[in-house]
A = this chain, B = another copy of it.
Amino acid sequence: MTDNTSTCDIEIRVRYAEVDQMGVVHHSRYWEYLEMGRTELLRRVGVAYRDVEQAGVLLVLAKCSAKFHAPARYDDLLTLTTMLTKLGTARIDHSYQLKRTSDGAILVTAETTLASVDASGSIQPIPDLLRQAIEQRG
Protein backbone atom coordinates (compact mmCIF):
# COMPACT_ATOMS: atom_id res chain seq x y z
CA MET A 1 0.00 0.00 0.00
CA THR A 2 1.49 3.28 -1.13
CA ASP A 3 1.27 6.41 0.90
CA ASN A 4 0.35 9.20 -1.41
CA THR A 5 -0.29 12.81 -0.59
CA SER A 6 -1.69 14.13 -3.84
CA THR A 7 -3.90 17.08 -3.06
CA CYS A 8 -6.17 19.42 -4.99
CA ASP A 9 -8.12 22.58 -4.13
CA ILE A 10 -11.32 23.58 -5.90
CA GLU A 11 -13.78 26.41 -5.35
CA ILE A 12 -17.50 25.77 -5.12
CA ARG A 13 -20.29 28.35 -5.04
CA VAL A 14 -23.28 27.11 -2.99
CA ARG A 15 -26.42 26.77 -5.13
CA TYR A 16 -29.84 27.84 -3.93
CA ALA A 17 -31.24 24.34 -4.45
CA GLU A 18 -28.62 22.90 -2.09
CA VAL A 19 -29.85 24.79 0.96
CA ASP A 20 -32.62 23.47 3.23
CA GLN A 21 -35.19 25.27 5.33
CA MET A 22 -32.65 25.81 8.13
CA GLY A 23 -30.89 28.05 5.60
CA VAL A 24 -27.84 25.78 5.41
CA VAL A 25 -26.50 23.34 2.84
CA HIS A 26 -28.29 20.01 3.29
CA HIS A 27 -25.80 17.40 4.44
CA SER A 28 -26.62 15.07 1.53
CA ARG A 29 -25.25 17.68 -0.87
CA TYR A 30 -21.73 17.73 0.55
CA TRP A 31 -21.14 14.30 -0.97
CA GLU A 32 -21.57 15.84 -4.41
CA TYR A 33 -18.90 18.37 -3.56
CA LEU A 34 -16.48 15.65 -2.43
CA GLU A 35 -17.07 13.79 -5.68
CA MET A 36 -16.23 16.96 -7.60
CA GLY A 37 -13.00 17.12 -5.61
CA ARG A 38 -12.08 13.57 -6.59
CA THR A 39 -12.81 14.24 -10.26
CA GLU A 40 -10.55 17.31 -10.27
CA LEU A 41 -7.78 15.56 -8.30
CA LEU A 42 -7.67 12.85 -10.97
CA ARG A 43 -7.74 15.42 -13.75
CA ARG A 44 -4.65 17.10 -12.30
CA VAL A 45 -2.69 13.85 -12.54
CA GLY A 46 -3.84 13.61 -16.15
CA VAL A 47 -6.73 11.17 -15.87
CA ALA A 48 -10.37 11.81 -16.73
CA TYR A 49 -12.55 9.60 -14.51
CA ARG A 50 -14.95 9.51 -17.45
CA ASP A 51 -12.30 7.55 -19.38
CA VAL A 52 -11.62 5.21 -16.46
CA GLU A 53 -15.29 4.30 -16.34
CA GLN A 54 -15.56 3.89 -20.09
CA ALA A 55 -12.67 1.42 -19.84
CA GLY A 56 -14.93 -0.70 -17.64
CA VAL A 57 -13.55 0.15 -14.21
CA LEU A 58 -15.91 1.69 -11.69
CA LEU A 59 -14.77 3.36 -8.49
CA VAL A 60 -17.66 2.87 -6.08
CA LEU A 61 -18.05 4.26 -2.60
CA ALA A 62 -17.47 1.49 -0.04
CA LYS A 63 -17.53 3.60 3.12
CA CYS A 64 -17.53 7.19 4.25
CA SER A 65 -17.64 9.37 7.32
CA ALA A 66 -18.00 13.10 7.91
CA LYS A 67 -18.07 15.71 10.65
CA PHE A 68 -20.05 18.90 10.22
CA HIS A 69 -18.35 21.72 12.10
CA ALA A 70 -20.21 24.78 10.82
CA PRO A 71 -22.85 25.38 8.15
CA ALA A 72 -22.40 26.63 4.60
CA ARG A 73 -25.07 28.99 3.30
CA TYR A 74 -26.53 30.00 -0.08
CA ASP A 75 -24.07 31.84 -2.30
CA ASP A 76 -21.11 31.13 0.01
CA LEU A 77 -17.87 30.52 -1.80
CA LEU A 78 -16.19 27.37 -0.47
CA THR A 79 -12.74 25.88 -0.87
CA LEU A 80 -12.55 22.09 -0.91
CA THR A 81 -9.20 20.39 -0.36
CA THR A 82 -9.17 16.76 -1.52
CA MET A 83 -6.28 14.53 -0.48
CA LEU A 84 -5.52 11.05 -1.75
CA THR A 85 -4.35 9.32 1.43
CA LYS A 86 -3.98 5.63 0.49
CA LEU A 87 -3.71 3.74 -2.75
CA GLY A 88 -4.34 0.03 -2.22
CA THR A 89 -4.60 -2.83 -4.69
CA ALA A 90 -8.29 -2.30 -5.23
CA ARG A 91 -9.17 0.69 -3.05
CA ILE A 92 -8.42 4.40 -2.83
CA ASP A 93 -8.81 6.46 0.33
CA HIS A 94 -9.37 10.21 0.33
CA SER A 95 -9.75 12.78 3.03
CA TYR A 96 -11.36 16.18 2.61
CA GLN A 97 -11.49 19.57 4.23
CA LEU A 98 -14.17 22.04 3.21
CA LYS A 99 -13.61 25.66 4.21
CA ARG A 100 -15.48 28.92 3.77
CA THR A 101 -13.22 30.84 1.40
CA SER A 102 -13.80 34.27 2.95
CA ASP A 103 -12.47 33.49 6.43
CA GLY A 104 -11.02 29.99 6.17
CA ALA A 105 -13.47 28.56 8.72
CA ILE A 106 -13.56 24.76 8.56
CA LEU A 107 -17.08 23.58 7.73
CA VAL A 108 -16.80 19.87 6.97
CA THR A 109 -14.11 17.21 7.28
CA ALA A 110 -14.64 13.80 5.72
CA GLU A 111 -13.06 10.54 4.64
CA THR A 112 -14.04 8.07 1.96
CA THR A 113 -12.91 4.68 0.70
CA LEU A 114 -13.55 3.80 -2.92
CA ALA A 115 -13.46 0.22 -4.18
CA SER A 116 -12.44 -0.63 -7.73
CA VAL A 117 -15.02 -2.95 -9.34
CA ASP A 118 -16.09 -4.11 -12.80
CA ALA A 119 -19.57 -3.67 -14.27
CA SER A 120 -20.83 -6.75 -12.41
CA GLY A 121 -19.61 -5.35 -9.09
CA SER A 122 -16.65 -7.73 -8.64
CA ILE A 123 -13.54 -6.28 -7.04
CA GLN A 124 -10.85 -5.46 -9.63
CA PRO A 125 -7.27 -4.25 -9.21
CA ILE A 126 -6.97 -0.55 -9.93
CA PRO A 127 -5.89 -0.28 -13.60
CA ASP A 128 -2.16 0.36 -14.17
CA LEU A 129 -2.79 3.56 -16.09
CA LEU A 130 -4.63 5.07 -13.16
CA ARG A 131 -2.13 3.76 -10.60
CA GLN A 132 0.86 5.11 -12.51
CA ALA A 133 -0.69 8.52 -12.99
CA ILE A 134 -1.39 8.78 -9.27
CA GLU A 135 2.02 7.45 -8.17
CA GLN A 136 4.01 9.72 -10.45
CA ARG A 137 2.29 12.67 -8.91
CA GLY A 138 2.61 11.41 -5.33
- Please report A residues at the B interface, Cβ cutoff 8 Å: 13, 15-17, 19-24, 26-29, 31-32, 35-36, 39, 48-50, 53, 58, 60-68, 70-71, 73-75, 121
Contacts and interface: CB of A to CB of B under 8 A. Distances in A.
B65 A64 contact: yes
A66 B16 CA distance: 20
Contacts of A36: 13, 15-16
A58 to B, nearest CB: 6
A35 B15 contact: yes
Contact of A61 (B27, B32, B49, B60): B27
Given A21-B21, A22-B58, 8 more contacts: A16-B35, A16-B39, A19-B21, A22-B60, A28-B28, A31-B31, A50-B74, A62-B67
Q: How many copies does the complex hold?
A: 4
A121 B72 CA distance: 12
B68 A121 contact: no
Given A39-B75, A63-B65, A75-B49, A17 B17 contact: no
Contact of A29 (B28, B58, B121): B28
Contacts of A28: 17, 28-29, 31-32, 35
Contacts of A48: 75
